[in-house]
Amino acid sequence: MVDANGQVSSSKGNITMFTGKGGVGKTTCAAAAALYHASSEERTLAISTDATPSLSHIFEVASDEKPTMVRKSLYINELGVEEVKEMWDKKFGKEVYEVFSSFVAIDYVEFVEFMTSVLPGLSDEFMVDYIKELSRKGEYKAIVWDTAPLGQTLALLKTPALLGRHLRMAPRIYSKLRLGQRRREPILDIIRRWERLSADNMDFLSSMVSFVMVTIPEALAVEQLEGIFRELNEYGLKVQQLIINNVVKEEDSDFLLTKARQQKNYLELIYDRYSDLPIIELPMFPYELKGLDRLKEVERILFP
Ligand SMILES: Nc1ncnc2c1ncn2[C@@H]1O[C@H](COP(=O)(O)OP(=O)(O)OP(=O)(O)O)[C@@H](O)[C@H]1O
Ligand SMILES: [Mg+2]
């Protein structure tokens, strides 16, 4: 993954987000990228905001420690629901809860569950915030961010707007309940603070994070790409690199020959549509890409 400066992420804050639809190889590419950075002695963190712990699986580590050291300079951290709830607590949870609970009988755990279900991108919002803080602390020289399938990543982008809409209803509910001016102020403060946080997070995403899109040469994946690019563009987020994964390179059976022929059309389409982007092909391997040795092979292709 090379640009004029030698690597794709060097132009920004050395934070790279791997994104794309489900199962296309985001975690595999993110892990290989993390290995690449760690190999040059840069203290590197591979972080996932995916509910399923796939980084520890691919690096074959089993530890409850967070972050976990994989090898020298390489750490992984898988943020789960619990961590997100903690972040919520620290930033806003109690305040928003106090306001809500003054007119709805709801306990705190239920409240957090309610909020995260109403706003699917909410947990991601806090994860962006977490990664932003992490990058500001400067503890790691490189951060590789493995995301959940794209549906959720896009929900994340919409969260600030959704949140604003939801929270703006609150004062109206208040006025209906005739709770008076004094109690309406705090929630407006919270909304303003939240909007600032969201704007700050969006700035962070567009100025510090490099986006790498992973796709495969298949009908549905190619069809969906266009929309994903458009949506990212709307938020001022630019994809810096495209990886086409699972490309059949050895056509030594009828099966593979047929598959390769089918892929050819989609490959041409991708090269045609995204000619302004650096594109790297990752071949389809005959084995599972798991463990450092296998990931090293992927690394050599992504970072020639
Ligand atoms: N080039 C490849 N050749 C062979 N197998 C691959 C290749 N790339 C990925 N795989 C395998 O495909 C599966 C899915 O890959 P991976 O977990 O990286 O995808 P993902 O995009 O992160 O999926 P999810 O959206 O579920 O998080 C894994 O078992 C992985 O080992
Ligand atoms: Mg994954």
Cα 165 to ligand 2 centroid, rounded to whole Å: 31
- Most confident range (mean pLDDT) of 44-58, 82-96, 192-206 is 44-58
The confidence score (pLDDT) of residue 219 equals: 95
For the CA of 54, the nearest atom of ligand 1: 17
For the CA of 24, the nearest atom of ligand 1: 21
Cα 163 to ligand 1 centroid, rounded to whole Å: 33
For the CA of 247, the nearest atom of ligand 1: 1
Q: Which of 17, 18, 21, 27 gets mutated to test ligand 1 (max ligand atoms within 8 A of its CB)?
A: 27
Q: In the numeric block, which tokens belong to residue 230?
A: 């458009």
**Global pTM?**
0.85
Mean pLDDT of 251-266: 94
pLDDT at 181 over 70: no
For the CA of 246, the nearest atom of ligand 1: 1
Q: Which of 17, 28, 256 gets mutated to test ligand 1 (max ligand atoms within 8 A of its CB)?
A: 28
For the CA of 288, the nearest atom of ligand 1: 31
- Residues near ligand 1 (Cβ within 6 A): 22-28, 50, 54, 149, 245-246, 282, 284-285, 288-289
Ligand showing the shortest atom-to-Cα distance for residue 22 = 1
Complete DSSP assignment for 4-57 = TTSSGGGGTTSEEEEE-STTSSHHHHHHHHHHHHHHTT--EEEEE--SS-HHHH
Tell the residue nearest (CA) to atom 24 of ligand 1.
Answer: 23
Q: Using an 8 Å Cβ cutoff, are 235 and 202 in contact? A: yes
Ligand showing the shortest atom-to-Cα distance for residue 152 = 1
**% of the chain with per-residue pLDDT over 90:** 44
Please indicate whether residue 189 or residue 152 has the higher confidence score (pLDDT): 189
Tell the residue nearest (CA) to atom 16 of ligand 1.
Answer: 25
Residues lining ion ligand 2 (Cβ < 5 A) are 26-27, 54
Please indicate whether residue 70 or residue 65 has the higher confidence score (pLDDT): 70
pLDDT at 203 over 90: no
Specify the DSSP element, H or E, that contains 220: helix 219-234
- Cα–Cα distance list, 207 to 82, 118, 142, 238 (Å): 28, 29, 15, 10
The pLDDT-based confidence of 166 (bands split at 50, 70, 90) is: low
Q: Which of 32-36, 124-128, 216-220 has the lowest mean pLDDT?
A: 124-128
The pLDDT-based confidence of 194 (bands split at 50, 70, 90) is: confident
The per-residue pLDDT of the chain, averaged, comes to: 82
Q: Which of 59-68, 116-125, 174-183 has the lowest mean pLDDT?
A: 174-183
Q: Which of 19, 289, 293, 294 gets mutated to test ligand 1 (max ligand atoms within 8 A of its CB)?
A: 289
Strand ordering across the sheet containing 279-283: 68-71, 74-78, 44-48, 142-146, 15-19, 209-215, 239-247, 279-283
